Chains A and B, each alone.
Chain A
Amino acid sequence: MSSIGRMKLRGEAESGPDLSVVVPIVERYGDLRQLTAEFSAEIARLGLRAEWIFVVDEVQRGALPELREIQRTSEQEVVIVLLGGAFGESAALTVGLERARGQRIATLASYFQVEPRGLGATFAALDAGADMVVGRRYPRTDSAFNRIQSRLFHWILRGVTSAGFHDISCGFKVMKRQVARELNIYGGLHRFIPILAQNRGFTVHEVPLAQRSENRSTRFHGAGAYLGRLLDLLTVFFLVRFTRRPLRFFGLLGTALFAAGFLVDLVLAIQKVFFHTGLSGRVVLLLGVLLMVLGVQTLSLGLLGELVIFTHARNVREYQVAEVIRNPRQGVLQHPDGKGEVRVRNLR
């Protein structure tokens, strides 16, 4: 990874900006100059000081001249990071979030998805106590085909993770610094950032934002893209539900498979013993044995999973503490007899 641009030197740079805007440029990009200009104007109107971080995947080198132009003309700080290879969107986001110095961090798709005028509402939701706010393009103005596929995807997602998001693939999200620090995204997990954040105990809100007219294209994805998404869903499913208790999942599946196989073979055995049906012609016997074998293999993988967690992550705590509230006078204890106060040393 090589860092091409440096941030402009400014007098107040030390305190860090109010907002970092991270833009991963990976799959495609639109008119970056206009995008930056419109969002910058809105951010300035809200009275915030922002820095822009563009993370460019190797394959999108072509965006560099335009970005340099933005860097030269922008009022706000602009950082350009060029990745040394085609690492994908999750990696680009991770790099961008790591670089961000703002108290609040926004991520933005590299093409127009939403109108900038929704920014105010998003920040208001953060002020009201949310840790992360995700944009929802609503009302949708896409083609019916796009809307149906999105509906279907989110319907499955809700079933799998029981998180009620409507537009998880909207690139616009704003989060507090702490959220960005704790997020661990890799592979295709960038799509599920709100769910991962929620799983770590953060409050995530969804805010409807007007969809930009440019974002109306009808896009057919290849079969590979859908397959990839489904596999990512599976990953999220495991991460959210079963990381701590693999046997809950593998155990159930394995037991069910084994029981099915056992039943099949039991029926065959009964037929053999009582009705003298020879086993040699029964192909179903094979099915029963296969199911039992599969069941035990699944179960043993679950056990192995439990073992990995027990021996490697036993002391990893499942809970996340939001805060520890203490009295400022703590450490000064009341004497049991009520005769004044005794100072005790902090035992830890």
Chain B
Amino acid sequence: MDLSIVVPLYNEEESVDALHAEVSAAAAKLGISYEILYVDDGSGDGTVGKLRAVVDRDPQVKVIRFRRNYGQTSAIQAGFDQSRGRVVVTMDGDLQNDPGDMGLLLAELDRGYDVVSGWRRDRKDRMLSRRIPSRVANWLIGRLTGTRIHDNGCTLKAYRSDVVKRTTLYAEMHRFLAPMMSLTGCRTREVVVNHRPRQFGRSKYGISRIWKVFLDLLTIKMLLGFTTRPAAWFGLLSLPFLGGTCLGLAASIYSYATLGPQRDYPLVFPSVTILFALAAVHLLLIGVFAELVVKVGDFKEKDAVLASLDSRGAPV
């Protein structure tokens, strides 16, 4: 199969029919074999019922229903897991993305990119609550990953399936998937796409909490960086405490040396020294322990790198 289209849906009862009509029309126009995967993220309204009707009409459609609401990252992950196409396209279920843009993304993939991300240059959303937070988040993500992408929040993206199959989405990672993938050696590209105002319902996902994105991003970047050498990393973390130990020791000796006759020796400095030494040793030990954890785990840096090399040159 050539193309898998993954659409996460959460309480989109009104838009399901219009969405499917548009998506399937756009997909048929591409002239390649395709499947559409709708992932119902625990909707409480009639979304599932509508989707069942769609499945009955259209054999190219598969619906994955979640037991409860797990969030957009999980929904996209489920779509990735079930996808069979050589290319996977994700898009929003609220009709704000234009399915007609799929052709643009696929054309860029054909030029040799692994991930093509949509850029809603002309966004039809509220300025204060959506567009400004998103600006900040995108800037932050760009700074931290080194891959500047204007619009990480755009769900409309296309991936080669081998990229998708070897990536595990982590936490809220769908928000910065493209820069993450570029960290593991994928070639990413941005394409300007249409963005339309919301027709039905209200927005459920959005970059609302930047600190969450920030924390996740930091974690992931750190994990990618230090999973291979945790002992060294924790060792680095213990350096300031080793420094503190030395300072405390120096202060202890100094206060002892300058101690006048018949005065009590202040116990504050030796205590501080001991505390800092304790923390430094603790961190070093955790580093050794982390080394053990990684060693018995299944993370193989080598595999990830090799897989990214293999993906090059395979025609889509």
Any A CB within 8 A of the CB of B232 = no
Q: Decide: A310 and B227 in contact? CB cutoff 8 A.
A: yes
Given the interface pairs A289-B275, A333-B60, the reply to whether A321 lies near B78 with Cβ below 8 Å is yes
Q: Decide: B168 and A314 in contact? CB cutoff 8 A.
A: yes
**Once bound together, how far apart are the Cα atoms of A323 and B78, in whole Å?**
12
Q: Decide: B66 and A321 in contact? CB cutoff 8 A.
A: yes
Any B CB within 8 A of the CB of A202 = yes
Q: Decide: B168 and A201 in contact? CB cutoff 8 A.
A: no
Q: Which residues from chain A contact B59 at a C-beta distance below 8 Å?
A: 327, 329-330, 332-334
**Once bound together, how far apart are the Cα atoms of A348 and B4, in whole Å?**
14
Instruction: Give the number of residues in B that approach A within 8 Å (Cβ atoms).
Output: 65
Any A CB within 8 A of the CB of B26 = no
Any A CB within 8 A of the CB of B219 = yes
Q: Decide: B272 and A286 in contact? CB cutoff 8 A.
A: yes
Q: Decide: B278 and A293 in contact? CB cutoff 8 A.
A: yes
**Once bound together, how far apart are the Cα atoms of A319 and B64, in whole Å?**
11
Q: Decide: A311 and B294 in contact? CB cutoff 8 A.
A: yes
Q: Shortest beta-carbon distance, A255 to chain B, in Å? A: 10
The residue from B81, B275, B290, B298 contacting A312, defined by CB atoms under 8 A apart: B298
Q: Which stretch of B49-57, B116-124, B131-139, B198-206 is in the interface?
A: B49-57
Q: Decide: B55 and A289 in contact? CB cutoff 8 A.
A: no
**Once bound together, how far apart are the Cα atoms of A307 and B294, in whole Å?**
7
Q: Which stretch of B28-36, B175-183, B186-194 is in the interface?
A: B28-36
Q: Shortest beta-carbon distance, B64 to chain A, in Å? A: 5
B62-88 vs A, Cβ < 8 Å mask (1 yes, 0 no): 111111101000110110011010000
By a beta-carbon cutoff of 8 Å, the part of chain A in contact with chain B is: 200-202, 244-245, 247-248, 251, 279-283, 285-286, 289-290, 292-293, 296-297, 300-301, 303-304, 306-308, 310-312, 314-315, 317-327, 329-330, 332-334, 336-337, 342, 344, 347-348
New A-B pairs, 18, CB < 8 Å, besides A289-B244, A320-B68? A279-B251, A279-B268, A282-B268, A293-B279, A300-B282, A304-B289, A304-B293, A311-B227, A311-B298, A312-B293, A315-B298, A319-B75, A325-B62, A329-B59, A333-B33, A334-B28, A336-B32, A337-B31
By a beta-carbon cutoff of 8 Å, the part of chain B in contact with chain A is: 1, 28, 30-33, 42, 51-52, 55-56, 58-68, 70, 74-75, 77-78, 81-82, 84, 168, 170-171, 215, 219, 222-223, 227, 230, 234, 237, 241, 244, 251, 255, 266, 268-269, 271-272, 275-276, 278-279, 282-283, 286, 289-290, 293-294, 296-299
